Structure 1
Amino acid sequence: MSAAAEPSESDVRYTEPEGLGLLRRRAPGQSVMEELLEVRGHRDTRGLVARALGVHLLDAASRPWYWGALGERAVGRTLAALGPEWTVLHAVPVGEKSADIDHVVIGPTGIFTINTKRHPGQRIWTAKGTFMVAGTRHPYIRNSEHEAARAGKLLSAAVRQAVTAEAAIVVVGAQQVTVKEKHRSVAVLTEPQLLRWLTRRPVVHTHQQVALLAAAAAQPSTWRRAPSALSDPVEVAGSFDTLHRLVEQARRRRIGWLLAVPAAVVASAVGALPF
């Protein structure tokens, strides 16, 4: 959508019907939080001894959902710094299955689909359609291209004008990110680079165009033919926060035991020394 195609006031026909505001209010990481809570729940089911020892709450099945939620929440906090001329949607359900787009961003410089990848302490290397994490190849580039193309097609149908979306992968927590060669249609960024990448680009949409696109994007029917009921983001985030506190509490207790045991051994050895 170029400035020459600026819609008139009569073209801006999208108003958000009552009850659809949940899509605008969806929390960063809401889809993965919902999956995690379905698999794990948010209650502490460990016994007293396990709690005292800081035994892990998360098993192999639930851990990826938890780390994914933390990554999307981190990027969500970064995107919250964008000004009022921007619209940001999180965890947008798309298609007929359980797929979602981590973040859809619409503003003066374009439409963007952002895919968050959290790889704490890992080395990332990417070039020529390849994305490697600690030497293992992942299909992130291909998936992000598909996601942006899909978003552009759906939004074009909704506003009845041809628009395009651009894709970005935002890496959270990595030890090192090496972009050996930029990809043709997907930007690979670290979290601190994201806002500059979004805001320092040429302006391509007027205020009216942004309003039209944002209103269309806020309607669940834009993304799914038969939108399902959306969970209350406040309840989902609250349950996740409860689980997050328990996970952090267990982690601190494990660290405390790891520090206490060597100290006890040293104290015991010192006590056994003759004077």
Structure 2
Amino acid sequence: MEDVLTVRRWRRYGADRLFVTQETGRRVGSVDLQSGEVVADDPILELGLRRAAQAYLRADVTELALPVATPGIGALDAADDAALQAWLGGDDWDTIDLAGVRAGRGSTVRTRLERLTDEGWQVIHDVPLGRQGTLVEHLLIGPGGVFTVAERRHPGLKIVVDGRSLEVDGRSVAYLRDAKLEAARVRGLLLTAGCADVNVRGVVVVHGDLELRPSAVQCETVVMSRQDVQAAFRRMPERLDIHRVAAIAHVARQRATWSR
């Protein structure tokens, strides 16, 4: 059996991604052409997602419709897999191992956040913020509160957080400021949509050698390593009950909430 996947490229505001959907409009997943992250909405769809991405990159078109085998059957051959990894950056490509995901060993931030859903959390990916093409990578809503979550990848580099400053390999970057502004924007839109007295915090998940230095200056943005994602959110004190979580998540899943 075959399914037809449509691949579209999205390039705005420094982002460069491929989005893949089925004929029904259901999203299969995305490929970040800058960081190399491959995100499948369902792990069994990952093979089709990779094959469609590889075909798109070879075709050099603006949009591609590709028949592929039913998810879960077949795999990329060695040449195709090597070519796709080369395009996306090779060694640090954060792939999802299907057997590992099923066994609970998936490594992406997306997968780690989704594992929290069994513990009362809800997560929404790629939230379209406003009409300028900005995306919130992950919006997490649960007992510990409401959080925007962004991943920043610097494998092998030293990342130092000291109060309100964050440095990567000795160079100051604006991740904390950006996360704070994003969280404030999300909070404002949720308030406008009817979520009274809601607070939103920004979270930056880093892939690198993270050092959190004690500081008298408190930062509103939370920084954590990718490996600590689940444990960090589990440690947070309960601020929202299950009914409040469900109500905020319902509002957050409405497209109208974010189109203002």
- Which of the five TM-score ranges fits, normalised by the shorter chain? 0.5 to 0.7
Partners in 1 of 2:134 and 2:93 — Cα distance? Answer: 14
Equivalent in the alignment of 1:79? 113
Amino acid at match of 2:203: A
Contact kept, 8 Å, 1:105 with 1:112, in 2: the verdict is: yes
Matched, 1:121 2:133: no
Alignment of 1:19-168 (within 5 A): 27=29, 30=30, 32=32, 42-43=54-55, 45=58, 74-82=108-116, 83=118, 85-168=120-203
Partners in 2 of 1:34 and 1:184 — Cα distance? Answer: 28
CA RMSD of aligned residues (A): 3.7
Q: Return closer, same or farther for 1:68/1:92 CA change in 2, 3 Å cut-off.
A: farther
Amino acid at match of 2:212: V
Partners in 1 of 2:205 and 2:33 — Cα distance? Answer: 19
5+ long unaligned stretches in structure 2: 1-24, 39-52, 60-78, 97-106
Runs of 4+ in 1 over 2 A off after TM superposition: 30-37, 41-46, 54-59, 66-71
Partners in 1 of 2:136 and 2:248 — Cα distance? Answer: 16
Identity %: 25
Partners in 2 of 1:77 and 1:56 — Cα distance? Answer: 21
Q: Return closer, same or farther for 1:33/1:178 CA change in 2, 3 Å cut-off.
A: same
Once the two structures are TM-superposed, the CA of residue 74 in structure 1 deviates from its matched residue by 0.7
Contact kept, 8 Å, 2:126 with 2:136, in 1: the verdict is: yes
Q: Partner of 1:212: helix, strand, or coil?
A: helix
Q: Return closer, same or farther for 1:118/1:34 CA change in 2, 3 Å cut-off.
A: closer
Q: Return closer, same or farther for 1:157/1:67 CA change in 2, 3 Å cut-off.
A: farther
Partners in 1 of 2:124 and 2:183 — Cα distance? Answer: 14
Of 111-120 and 73-82, deviating more is 73-82
The structure with the largest strand share of the pair is 2
Contact kept, 8 Å, 1:159 with 1:213, in 2: the verdict is: no
In the TM superposition, what whole-angstrom CA distance separates every residue of 1:192-225 from its partner, at most 9, and x where no partner exists? 2221221222211122111110000111111123
Partners in 2 of 1:195 and 1:75 — Cα distance? Answer: 9
Partners in 2 of 1:167 and 1:215 — Cα distance? Answer: 20
Partners in 1 of 2:175 and 2:93 — Cα distance? Answer: 14
Once the two structures are TM-superposed, the CA of residue 86 in structure 1 deviates from its matched residue by 1.2
Q: Return closer, same or farther for 1:169/1:45 CA change in 2, 3 Å cut-off.
A: same
Partners in 2 of 1:164 and 1:80 — Cα distance? Answer: 21
Would you say how many aligned residue pairs link Structure 1 and Structure 2? Answer: 189
Once the two structures are TM-superposed, the CA of residue 132 in structure 1 deviates from its matched residue by 1.4
Larger Rg: 1 or 2? 1
Q: Partner of 2:224: helix, strand, or coil?
A: strand
Once the two structures are TM-superposed, the CA of residue 128 in structure 1 deviates from its matched residue by 2.9
Matched, 1:189 2:224: yes
Of 215-224 and 158-167, deviating more is 158-167
Higher relative contact order (CA 8 A, sep 6+): 1
Q: Return closer, same or farther for 1:26/1:100 CA change in 2, 3 Å cut-off.
A: farther
Partners in 1 of 2:85 and 2:237 — Cα distance? Answer: 47
In the TM superposition, what whole-angstrom CA distance separates every residue of 1:122-154 from its partner, at most 9, and x where no partner exists? 111121322111122211010000011111111
In the TM superposition, what whole-angstrom CA distance separates every residue of 1:4-49 from its partner, at most 9, and x where no partner exists? xxxxxxxxxxxxxxxxxx89x785xx48469989xxx532649xxx
Partners in 1 of 2:236 and 2:83 — Cα distance? Answer: 48
Contact kept, 8 Å, 1:156 with 1:162, in 2: the verdict is: yes
Equivalent in the alignment of 1:180? 213
